[in-house]
Structure 1
Amino acid sequence: MKMCKGFFDKFFRIFVLVILASGEHVSGDPAVTTDGQCATKAGEGQESSSGTNDCPSGKPVSPLTEEIAKKHEKKNIAQPALTLSLFSNVPPTINFVRPDQQVEELPPAIRSRLKYYGDPSSVIAGYISRSGFTHSTDAGEYTFYFSLPYQINETKYYQMVRPYQKFNHFPDSWILGCKDKLAGNLLHFKIKYGSEEYGFFPRTFILPFDRISLKRAWDSTEKGAWILKPSCTFGGNGIEVVNDWKQIPENEYVVVQRYIPNPILCDGFKMDLRLYVHVTSIDPLRIYLLNEGSVRISAKKYTMDDLHNRAIHLTNRDVVPEDSGYFVDENMERGNRRSFTWLWGYLKEKYGVEHQPIWDSIKDVVIKTILTGEAKMRKSTRAFIKNRYSVHELFGFDILLDEDLKAWLMEVNVSPRFPRNILKRVTQPMLASMLNLAGVQIPAAEMLPKLKHSTEEDAVPEHLVMNRNLWTQPLTDEEKTKHAKYTGITDEVAQQSILDKLTPDDIRMLVETVGEYHRRGDFERIFPAPDTKKYHKFFKKPR
């Protein structure tokens, strides 16, 4: 369904304010919450006239729910194990917390359903296991997957992802993560929409296909440097800065870009930015950007007189020699990794500029970059993923600011790394927020092969487990007609009638979108937003 300014104006005016004003539950139907109380229209607890702990709907509070409530009453437990939905009859999500926070322990019946697949020694594993998950070595039996994506030629394997499973990659997200694929799409969009819209990446050539064009550009351009990047590597591996045509490989698959010679410097050292971008849904598209990030500073002072020393021109920790003096301050206010908070103060002091216009330009780069791969990822997701609940992805965007404070896209990473003992100021709140945004739910027993014949001891109250009807309902003829109607309307005034008559699909989408936004933590949703209309032209087809 196409998103527009009118949609959001009306949506937030009529719908969200009602939700936020009414507490945790807004439906008129009662629901059992995890604190052992019954929720009514305004989220208020009630007792039945019999004086028992039964709900008005006749549903008793289960022993398991009471067990959760008792654990939550403990003084030393600061965070609940589950995040309740804003809506009645919508199951909660697992609550993930930072290492400096405590979280209540879930009962064994729930913990037995929570399995994760990934490196058990990774930083992310600590966050997941604290919330009740145990590690699984079986790639097919997991609730939560957080590891590397399937390779480029393995997209078909995404069809093995089961409807209750949460997988941290979209099919074909390599279209952003591989430098040659990203460059090809950026060039296509630049040709189609012009440099004014897509002039945020350096002049780029893809070898060996563009070798003749590169030679022509090389000969006609003032003497300067170019940067060679292998098609699909990370961590600075294989990257070289060159200024001699003899250094250009003849038959290798590499991306060659004009080197930006005037980067913004910190005390004479080159720096760039690592941003964390969480795409929580590709259909419809929803993009969140972390409000903090990492300013990466090179180990050696910047000069164009030495192109071979990668510690001058690259900011990746992997390329820094041991004796370089590289260090990271825990507060990220000194050393080679600093925070965006530090950066905004630095720009204010040195350049006399406010950070918001720069931040807005960065958001624009992020959105337009993702839109270059949206159609491919959406098509593959529809083809291979059974449930839109299942997939989400955290991307690492590398951005360089030049002396004019223009934002340049360097690359996109599909599996950004999280250092264990550094960057805690950024990664700790980011990882907790990202996991909560993902919205991991407890699978129902019938969804799990090993629990299809579960005993009473294995039982989990129905209101706590995933309801597949919220995610996998096919569109009715009426809903298909409405989708077709509003994707064809370009008049903004006419679009505002989209919420006049809500279909069940509309309600499911609104519940999903609002609930997710409520869990955003330190992320900012940048798409959709009130100014989304200006990006409509970049979609292959109306959405």
Structure 2
Amino acid sequence: MSKPNRVPGYMQSKGNRNRGPIGDREIRYKCSMTNTILDVLRARPGWQEVAGDGDWDFFWCDREWLHANYDSMFLQEHQKILHFRNHYELTRKNLMVKNLKRLRKQTEREQGKKEAESFDFFPTTYELPSEYHIFVEEFKRLPGIIWIMKPAAKSQGRGIFLFRKLKDITDWKKGEYQPLTDPNREVPETYVVQRYIENPYLIGGRKFDIRVYVLVVSYNPLKVWLYRGGFGRFSNSRFSLDSIEDTYVHLTNVAVQKTAPDYDPDKGCKWATQQLRQYLAAKHGTEVVRKVFQGIDNIIIKSLHSVQKIIINDKHCFEMYGYDILLDANLKPWLIEINASPSLTASGKEDYDLKYGVLNDVLNVLDLENRLTGKEKRVGGFDLIWDDGPVNADDGSMECSINSSATTSNSFLGCYCDRKKQLRDIFTAAQALKKTATS
């Protein structure tokens, strides 16, 4: 057996020395999680769970494990592992904005201001405490507006609050004025402060954002899959700017909303993206909705391009991002944040079914079983939207009656998805093609 290619900076890890490439044998997996992904892996035919330091082919690891072990690992040709080494360049709030700002400036230099305007999808943002003085200048220039503070590396709404007065954030600037030699010097936690979007699009008087699932299997070349399903996350209380301290009004995170006194777990606070798209189309027309979802595509591709040259690309790694998108009253999509570990814990049966399908199709796209041809543009609920360039839909693939751009774009976010039938069809077609090629 030929010696696998060594990845620069890797040392060989225990348990992966003698295992050959995957053929007809079982696929051995490890998993750091105990939620929906573990159910998916255990139900997958021909997959076998590995305990301890046993030999594995696929590892759904947590970020902490990857950071602690990546640089001392040697992965064989066939092995796959969740997360790129420095995924945080896109998923930490401060670094995400830093990278977007850099690419926007580069685009303006090289292509002009008009093209740079296509990056106008994230709110005015500053990092605190390092950019505190710049932020203060902007704050004074725009008196009376609302700002939102977010910890750079936390999730599920932890530590977020809104404010109108500078005195509300004095805790985050005090460390700047203490001598570096002071042993008792407190270093403020890194936050981002953003201009709050005061005019969100409301349904039933309530604010919502959209969770979008994006699978990146390579950064060089960039290859991106977009999942058709997703959900809108609604606040439990009607929107108002009169009570900016009420998190149940302003934060749509399920982790926050489910603690509301009047939260109904049977009803939940989610709409399927398909339901949301149909609602918007009925109210505003299909052409308006097409542009809205085209704007979401633009956000996804531009954000990934902003880190394409920074992410440590590794053919063994993949990433499943959870994008959070907010629509304002003018139906303009805004990027709120990108999650490297979107929640896989279900809040109900529909949520479980959605996440089960997403995760199953991640495995189908990665195709460790070698059942596909590698030329597919759709696998289950995932559509290939970028493959070292934009991907166009095949002629006649009008699978979404409200996606009038289907002849040019392979994006079907919020469109109908009979994923089980589609999977049967592509696996059958791939098998027939392979038989023809070998005959």
TM-score w.r.t. the length of structure 2 is 0.72
Q: 1:367 aligns with which of 298, 301, 304?
A: 301
Indicate the structure (1 or 2) with the bigger Cα radius of gyration. Answer: 1
Q: Which residue of 1 aligns with 2:354?
A: 426
Cα deviation code 1:3-32 (max 9, x no counterpart)? xxxxxxxxxxxxxxxxxxxxxxxxxxxxxx
Residues in 2 aligned to 1:164 and 1:217: alpha-carbon distance in whole angstroms: 51
Distance across 1 between alignment mates of 2:125 and 2:390: 30
Residue 357 of structure 1, aligned match among 291, 308, 322: 291
**Residue 161 (structure 1) aligned with residue 75 (structure 2):** yes
The separation in 1 between residues aligned to 2:295 and 2:222, in whole angstroms, is 20
User: Partner residue of 1:273?
Assistant: 210
1:236-385 → structure 2 map (5 Å cutoff): 236-248=157-169, 249-250=172-173, 251-320=188-257, 322-327=259-264, 335-354=268-287, 355-377=289-311, 380-381=312-313, 385=314
Q: Can you list the C-alpha shifts for 1:385-425, whole angstroms capped at 9, x where unaligned?
A: 4xx2x211100000000011111000000011122352134
Distance 2:305 2:373 in 1: 22
Partner of 2:102: 188
Conserved? CA contact 1:116–1:133, under 8 Å: no
Q: Deviations over 1:437-494 (max 9, x none)?
A: 112248xxxxxxxxxxxxxxxxxxxxx9xxxxxxxxxxxxxxxxxxxxxxxxxxxxxx
- 1:438 and 2:371 matched: no
Letter in 1 for 2:382: F
Q: 1:114 to 1:321 in 2, by over 3 A?
A: closer
1:228 to 142, 149, 154: 149
Rounded to whole Å, the distance in 1 between the matches of 2:97 and 2:69 is 20
**Contact 1:294 1:426 (8 Å CA) reproduced:** no
Q: How does 1:386-535 map to 2 (within 5 A)?
A: 388=315, 390-422=316-348, 423-441=351-369, 513-514=374-375, 517=376, 520-528=379-387, 531=390
1:122 equivalenced with 2:35 (yes/no): yes
Moved more, 344-353 or 264-273: 344-353
Structure 1 residue 137 displacement after superposition: 3.6
Change (3 A) 1:512 1:227: farther
Deviates more, 1:138-147 or 1:153-162: 153-162
- The aligned residue for residue 7 of structure 1 is none
Distance 1:359 1:158 in 2: 42
SS in 1 for 2:237: strand
What is the letter of the counterpart of residue 139 of structure 2?
W
Deviation at 1:240, TM superposition (A): 1.2
The partner residue of 1:138 within 34, 49, 52 is: 52
User: Any idea what SS the aligned residue of 1:319 has?
Assistant: helix
Distance 1:225 1:264 in 2: 17
Structure 1 alignment gaps of length 5 or more: 1-90, 94-108, 443-463, 465-510, 534-543
CA distance in 2, matches of 1:291, 1:308: 35
2: CA distance, partners of 1:314 / 1:258: 15
For residues 90-109 of structure 1, the aligned pairs below 5 Å read none
Note closer, same or farther for the CA distance 1:222–1:190 as it changes in structure 2 (3 Å cut): farther
State the alpha-carbon separation in 1 of the partners of residues 145 and 133 from structure 2: 18
Are 1:272 and 1:297, in contact at CA under 8 Å, matched by a contact in 2? yes
1-side partners of 2:269 and 2:355: how far apart?
Answer: 16
8 Å CA contact 2:128–2:190 kept in 1: the answer is: yes
Q: CA deviation at 1:520?
A: 1.6
Say whether the 8 Å CA contact 1:152–1:172 is kept in structure 2: no
Offset from partner CA, 1:321-345 (integer Å, 9 cap, x none): 545333466xxxx651001111112
Separation (CA, whole Å) in 1 of partners of 2:219 and 2:191: 29
* d(CA) in 2 for partners of 1:181, 1:152: 19
Alpha-carbon offset, residue 519 of structure 1? 6.2
State the superposition RMSD in angstroms: 2.7
Q: Higher helix share goes to which structure?
A: 1
SS at match of 1:299: coil
Counterpart AA for 1:110: R
For 2:437, the equivalent position in structure 1 comes to: none
Shift of 1:513: 4.0
The change in CA–CA distance for 1:513 and 1:283 in structure 2 (over 3 A counts) is farther
CA gap 1:403/1:328 in 2 versus in 1, 3 angstroms: farther
Partner of 2:8: none
Q: Give 1:140 shift.
A: 6.2
For residue 525 of structure 1, report the CA deviation from its aligned partner. Answer: 1.2
* One-letter amino acid of the counterpart of residue 436, structure 1: N
DSSP-derived class of the 2:229 partner: coil
Deviation of 1:116 (Å): 2.0
Match for residue 110 of structure 1 among 25, 42, 47: 25
Post-superposition CA distance 1:210-252 (Å, at most 9, x none): 1110000000013111111111111111111111101222133
Amino acid at match of 1:391: C
Verify the 8 A CA contact 1:273 1:296 in the aligned structure 2. Answer: yes
Could you tell me how far apart the structure 2 residues matched to 1:518 and 1:193 are?
29
Q: Partners of 1:156 and 1:124 in 2: how far apart?
A: 21
Structure 2 counterpart of 1:281, which letter? S
Equivalents in 2 of 1:180, 1:240: separation in Å? 16
- With over 3 angstroms needed to count, the CA separation of the structure-2 counterparts of 1:256 and 1:323, relative to structure 1, is closer
2-structure distance, mates of 1:168, 1:153: 12
The aligned length equals 345
Distance verdict in 2 for CA 1:375–1:513, change over 3 Å: farther
CA distance in 1, matches of 2:143, 2:353: 42
Q: Equivalents in 2 of 1:417, 1:296: separation in Å?
A: 13
**Larger mean Cα displacement after TM superposition, 317-326 or 298-307:** 317-326
Q: Alpha-carbon deviation of 1:123? A: 0.9
SS of match in other structure, 2:209: strand
Q: CA deviation at 1:144?
A: 1.1
